[in-house]
Amino acid sequence: MSQSHNRGLVEDFGRWREFSAGMWAWVFHKFTGWVLIGYLFTHIAVLSSALSGDAAYTNTLQGLEQLAVVRVLEVGLLAVAVFHIFNGIRLLFIDLGVGLDLDTQEKSFYASLILTGIIVVASVPVFLEGL
């Protein structure tokens, strides 16, 4: 046993096709979490225009809202936030000891995805209106 072989982490993300539902839920939750904390910083930065006065704030916000790319990104933000909320509720229940059997935790993840999809699709008109 003088020598052994370390296969490293190839088995992890290289095998994403074999991930189970719980693993996907974790990957999505992490990803959406990173996006949301990133957005919080940008959001506060944009709103800081309020410190430069009345007109600066109104113009900055309305100027941004006129850009189609901002509107589309907002739909993306909604998707990310809604998924993080639903999967977050799923995780809170899991922490409380509810819905821990394998079947339930899978179904609750799929339910989070489906609900997110429905809410986002239904919200697209509101988010893109007036463009």
Distances (CA, A) of 40 to 70, 81, 119: 15, 12, 22
- Cβ at position 124, least distance to another protein in Å: 12
Rounded to 10 degrees, what is the CA torsion of 81, 85, 87, 91? 140
User: 26-44 burial, b for 16+ CB within 10 Å, e for fewer?
Assistant: eebbeebeebeeebeeeee
- Per the listing, tokens 């909604």 go with 78
Nearer residue to another protein within complex by CB, 52 or 114? 52
Cα distance between residue 83 and residue 27, in whole Å: 12
* Interacting residues with another protein between 66 and 125 (CB under 8 A): 66, 74, 78, 81, 85, 88-89, 91-92, 94-97, 100-102, 105, 123
Among 68, 69, 125, 130, binds another protein (CB under 8 A): 130
- List residues binding another protein (CB under 8 A): 1-7, 9, 11-12, 15, 17-18, 20-23, 25-26, 30, 33-34, 36-37, 40-41, 44-45, 47-48, 50-51, 53-55, 57-58, 61-62, 65-66, 74, 78, 81, 85, 88-89, 91-92, 94-97, 100-102, 105, 123, 126-127, 129-130
